[in-house]
Structure 1
Amino acid sequence: MKIITSPAKLMDITSTAKFPRTTTPKFIKEAELIQSHLKEKTPEFLSEMMEISPKLADENWQRNQDWKPNPTAKHSSPALYAFTGEVYRGLDAQTLSEDAVSYLQKNYRILSGLYGLLKPSDKIMLYRLEMGRKFKIQQYWNLYEFWKDKITKQLNSELKSKEIILNLASAEYIKVLDKKKLKAPIINFDFYEMKSGKPKTIVVYTKHARGLMVRFCAENNATTLDDVKAFNLEGYRINEEMSTPQRLVFTR
């Protein structure tokens, strides 16, 4: 089983949580290439491309200047602890047991506009580069073109026979996978709040639930679809009537 999530815009590398052994991202050379292009861009360019304020653009321009492929422990963090958005609040990785962290190291991957595909143990620095932004690199017109084949091949190389992929990533990020070439079926998810008998999507709750699902799988050593269907954190339950073989629906 492989579990996939998006990264988060919010990051914090000051976590005191320790990883048994940190690693270097598989695509660090590609990240270095992307950063060589980013470092040449002005704060004004970053502001327009990322649709962020001048203050945030200045902050991320400085991050680009400071970025290194082999950062020190002080200036980096294992990917599992570096992201702090709503998905990662649901995951709450710092409170997981060693066995749960080991499970994630084996089964969990994070998509990234800069690093491509991250293992929990991979050391990363502060950055901001969403996959969906129009950023040209060499002959590639955008990050989807740059990453699609690379990430798909890497994920395929890690998949074992009859494994499944749990897609807990956003629509923006899951598009980077070439579904026609993947060697495993993708299981999608919906998390709904029931209001007056009708399912309603509340984005912040959906993001949180994605993180809860990653946590649940890690804590329960999930290996089958039935294990995943048993998800029951914070009031969610499988809705069999709304679910399909390719999409699991959880309601509360």
Structure 2
Amino acid sequence: MKIITSPAKLMNVDYSTDLLRSTTPRFIEDAALIQSHLKHKSPKYLSELMEISTKLADENWERNQKWKAKPVTKESAPALFAFTGEVYRGLDAKTLDKNAVSYLQKNHRILSGLYGLLKPSDRIMLYRLEMGRHFEFEQYKNLYEFWQEKVTEQLSSEMKKNEILLNLASNEYGKVVDRKKLNHKVIDFEFYELREGKLTTIVVYTKHARGLMVRFCAQNNAKTLNDVKAFHYEGYRIDEGRSTDTKLVFTR
């Protein structure tokens, strides 16, 4: 099976590991093209595009000036460790053993507004460019238009016949995959909290649970849907009544 997650706004490139041999992102030339346009955008433009503060806009303008397709080790990190948002706190890759990291290298892919599709070992620099932002460049009206065919074809090329795709990405990122052209079964996920007798969705917990699910699959060498249904970290359990053939629901 293959597993997709969203990237994270929070990043850190200070970490290095011997468990992964660094690789270059598959779409690095496309990333360089996007970055060549981003580099000339003012902090004010970045602030409005991504709805961020002036301070963050200045910070990301500086990142755009420093970005390069072939970064040195001290200014980059493998994607699996570079993202540090809530999904990746749940995944907690730094505490995984060699077998679990190898599992992720084979099965886990990270969607990205800048890099398109990343393997855990792909070395990346600090950046910020959400897939859903209205970023126009050349003939493209947005990043979906630029990435959808490329990402879908790449994912499809990496998947074997009858292999399933676990979609643990947000709606913003998940829709860059064209399901009609993927020709593989996609499994979506929902995570609920039981509060005062009612099931509710809490965004930060959902993000954390997505990371926990990726971690669970890696630690247990998950290969089938039944393996995935056994997920039980931090009190979650499968809700068979609410789950369907294409959606797994977990509650706690």
Secondary structure of 1:109's aligned partner: strand
CA apart distance, 1:197: 2.5
Secondary structure of 1:46's aligned partner: helix
Which residue is equivalent to 1:153? Answer: 153
Rounded to whole Å, the distance in 2 between the matches of 1:165 and 1:186 is 5
Which residue is equivalent to 2:73? Answer: 73
Which residue is equivalent to 1:39? Answer: 39
Which residue is equivalent to 2:29? Answer: 29
Rounded to whole Å, the distance in 2 between the matches of 1:153 and 1:98 is 29
Rounded to whole Å, the distance in 2 between the matches of 1:36 and 1:19 is 32
Kept in 2: contact 1:151–1:177 (CA 8 A): yes
Rounded to whole Å, the distance in 2 between the matches of 1:3 and 1:64 is 29
Secondary structure of 1:10's aligned partner: coil
Rounded to whole Å, the distance in 1 between the matches of 2:129 and 2:179 is 23
- Mapping of 1:1-252 within 5 angstroms? 1-252=1-252
Rounded to whole Å, the distance in 1 between the matches of 2:19 and 2:78 is 7
Residues matched between the structures, number: 252
Amino acid at match of 1:151: V
CA apart distance, 1:183: 2.0
Runs of 4+ off more than 2 Å: 16-20
Amino acid at match of 1:169: A
CA RMSD of superposed structures (Å):
0.7
Kept in 2: contact 1:25–1:115 (CA 8 A): yes
Rounded to whole Å, the distance in 2 between the matches of 1:213 and 1:140 is 34
Secondary structure of 1:87's aligned partner: helix
Rounded to whole Å, the distance in 2 between the matches of 1:35 and 1:19 is 29
Kept in 2: contact 1:50–1:133 (CA 8 A): yes
Amino acid at match of 1:118: L
Rounded to whole Å, the distance in 2 between the matches of 1:231 and 1:47 is 40
Amino acid at match of 2:162: K
Q: What percentage of aligned pairs have identical amino acids?
A: 70
Kept in 2: contact 1:164–1:184 (CA 8 A): yes
Secondary structure of 1:187's aligned partner: strand
Deviates more, 1:189-198 or 1:14-23: 14-23
Rounded to whole Å, the distance in 1 between the matches of 2:35 and 2:162 is 37
CA apart distance, 1:196: 2.6
Q: TM-score, normalised by structure 1?
A: 0.99
Kept in 1: contact 2:16–2:77 (CA 8 A): no
Rounded to whole Å, the distance in 2 between the matches of 1:178 and 1:244 is 21
CA apart distance, 1:137: 1.9
Amino acid at match of 1:144: Y
Amino acid at match of 1:208: H
CA apart distance, 1:136: 1.1
CA apart distance, 1:19: 3.6
Rounded to whole Å, the distance in 2 between the matches of 1:119 and 1:130 is 18
Amino acid at match of 1:108: H
Rounded to whole Å, the distance in 1 between the matches of 2:226 and 2:6 is 24
Kept in 1: contact 2:19–2:98 (CA 8 A): no
Which string of whole-angstrom CA distances, capped at 9 and with x for unpartnered residues, describes residues 48-97 of structure 1? 10100010000000000000000000000000000000000000000000
Secondary structure of 2:181's aligned partner: coil
Kept in 2: contact 1:137–1:146 (CA 8 A): no
Rounded to whole Å, the distance in 1 between the matches of 2:12 and 2:223 is 30
Rounded to whole Å, the distance in 2 between the matches of 1:90 and 1:139 is 38
CA apart distance, 1:153: 0.4
CA apart distance, 1:117: 0.1
Q: Which runs of 5+ in 1 are unaligned?
A: none
Rounded to whole Å, the distance in 1 between the matches of 2:127 and 2:247 is 32
